[in-house]
A and B are shown apart, each in its own frame.
Chain A
Amino acid sequence: MNGSKIMTIDKRVADIAAAVAGIKDGARVMVSGFGDAGNPTELLHALIDQGARDLCIINNNAGTGRLGLAALMNAGRVRKVICSFPRSSHSEIFQQLHRDGKVELCVVPQGTLAERIRAGGAGIGGFFTPTSAGTPLAEGKETRVIDGIEHVLEHPIHADVALIKADKADPLGNLTYRLAARNFAPAMCMAAELSIVQTAKIVAPGDINAEDVVTPGIFVDRIVHVPDPISEAEVLLQQEAGSGEAATGTNQQQAAGL
């Protein structure tokens, strides 16, 4: 096989500021992750520095702790959150902002959220699902009985940008993920106009065996190397095991070099 042509493709950017350059105010931003697994925390902090505001965030949750998505919301950059489960433990920042009427919430069943994102990336104009039929989340939606079961029409979700955390990437944008940190990332890479990936490891083309690629590079636009991504849950665990003194978000961020 002649690989010389594709070898010239290189989606790497110089640094994390370059990775998030150009994200506009009002953008719809998909953010990978479930709980603490797969959150692109460093990209989210770069987005705070970049300055885009009035954002609509699509994520499974609505931020936990003080870092990442929670920090972006706390900085007043988020207008709306589309998610399945905003009430995780340590989701106080979102809850307060929502109570104060500062962040709008749209709750979507998790499987419907995943499939709507996939539909957005796959060119599907909508689909009928039995999930939520007969519940308040189906109110106002078109329904159809298929094979005797009531189904609800759901529309695709597209985004301007996806912020994604991968474990391994090659310059072409082929990705793999660690353990259960994959969750929403593959579908989100498909559904966004601009997919931006932070990756712990960058390897040469061919070093990810073609059989092992999880997200093919066609769905990826920018790659930035973040060799040692922070896990806020790990930080919290270490603090609990250590002095027992609750740290503020600020000194956690300092400790994390953010």
Chain B
Amino acid sequence: MTPPMTPLSREQMAWRVAQEIPLRASGGTYVNLGIGMPELVANHLPDDAGIIFHCENGILGMGPVARPGEEDFDLITAGKKPVTVVPGAAFFDSTDSFAMIRGGHIDITVLGAFQISRTGDLANWSTGGADIVPAVGGAMDLAQGAKRVFIITNHQARDGAPKIVETCTYPLTGAGVVSTVFTDLAVIDVTPAGLMVREILDGLSLADLQAKTGAPLTAAADCPALARPQN
């Protein structure tokens, strides 16, 4: 058996998520990227693919980050970074913005996670620690409202604890909301039949992956290798 390949880097994980975002140039795909690693996904999507980025603070058609010297702090991302807009962009108020989210008009949101459960529960807003001020922002609305919720995360926490678990121990962001989990080791769909491994890191066995996971996984015998960019 060949030794496992290197786990995907953050950029490679973002690339893998980007492959899953349908390009529908005529109708548009409306995507909301969470703060942090999810923002990297934009680096791996073609400019003219009909993808419109939604920003919870009231922007459809968010463009690249503003260049130094061109920042305008009335035009920022959810993460408070100065940004630009593309031609055809729209501004609106917070109630309209969350009508888009809660009303099921956002096709895909990409979020980070502390924990994901076997049934697709998501915990990503609070560790419940008394020493940290809780802050939820738009996470619960996005988790509940987007048509599909993609999670981008390392397979294990820094201390080696599994992030995919039987039951979340951290406070929930949403119950049964996750569609697919993209990790540095695998792509895993949340299905009514449980967690289905769709791709697994080349050279890593299902038993190896299971040992790093806190909930039961199943996979087809011919489960393909985890796709990664060529370069």
A residues neighboring B (CB under 8 Å)? 34-38, 60, 84-89, 94-95, 98, 105, 107-115, 117-118, 129-137, 177-187, 214, 231, 233-234, 237
B49-73 interface (Cβ within 8 A of A): 55-59, 71-73
Query: Is B55 a contact partner of A135 (Cβ separation < 8 A)?
Result: no
Contact bitstring B106-139, A, C-beta under 8 A = 1, else 0? 0000000000000001000010000011111111
Q: Give every chain A residue within 8 A of B93 (Cβ-Cβ).
A: 114, 182-187, 214
A83 to chain B: closest CB distance in Å?
8
Cβ proximity bits B80-106 to A, threshold 8 Å, 1 near / 0 not = 100000000001111101100110000
- In the bound assembly, the distance between CA atoms of A107 and B140 in angstroms comes to 12
What separation, in Å, do the CA atoms of A184 and B138 have in the docked complex? 13
Q: How far is the CA of A132 from the CA of B175 in the complex (A)?
A: 9
Out of B76, B98, B126, B174, name the residue touching A111 (CB < 8 Å).
B98
Q: List 10 A-B contacts (CB under 8 A).
A: A35-B80, A107-B134, A111-B140, A130-B145, A131-B102, A180-B91, A181-B74, A186-B95, A187-B94, A214-B93
B145 and A34 contacting across the interface, CB-CB below 8 Å:
no
Asked if A84 contacts B138 (CB within 8 A), the reply is: yes
Q: Identify which of A86, A133, A187 contacts B135 (C-beta below 8 A).
A: A86
Whether A131 contacts B141 by the Cβ 8 Å rule is: yes
Dominant secondary structure at the B interface: loop
CB pair A85–B137 under 8 Å, yes or no, is yes
B59: A residues at CB distance < 8 A:
180
**CB neighbours of A108 from chain B (8 A):** 136
Count A-B contacts at CB 8 Å. Answer: 148
Residues in A neighbouring B57, C-beta threshold 8 A: 34-35, 37, 180, 183
Asked whether B175 lies within 8 Å of A180 as measured between CB atoms, the reply is: no
CA distance A114 to B175 in the complex (A): 22
Closest 8 CB pairs of A and B: A111-B98, A134-B175, A111-B141, A87-B135, A35-B80, A114-B94, A85-B137, A181-B74
User: Is A110 in contact with B141, judged by CB distance below 8 angstroms?
Assistant: yes
Beyond A114-B97, A136-B126, 18 extra complex contacts between A and B, CB < 8 Å: A34-B94, A35-B73, A84-B137, A86-B134, A89-B80, A95-B133, A107-B134, A109-B140, A111-B98, A113-B94, A114-B94, A115-B98, A118-B95, A132-B140, A133-B175, A137-B140, A180-B59, A182-B91
Contact of A133 among B74, B75, B144 (CB under 8 A): B144
Q: B173 on the interface (CB 8 Å rule)? A: yes
Q: With a CB–CB cut-off of 8 A, which chain B residues contact A137?
A: 136, 140
Decide yes or no: A135 and B73 within 8 Å by CB, A36-B80, A84-B135, A130-B145 being known contacts. no
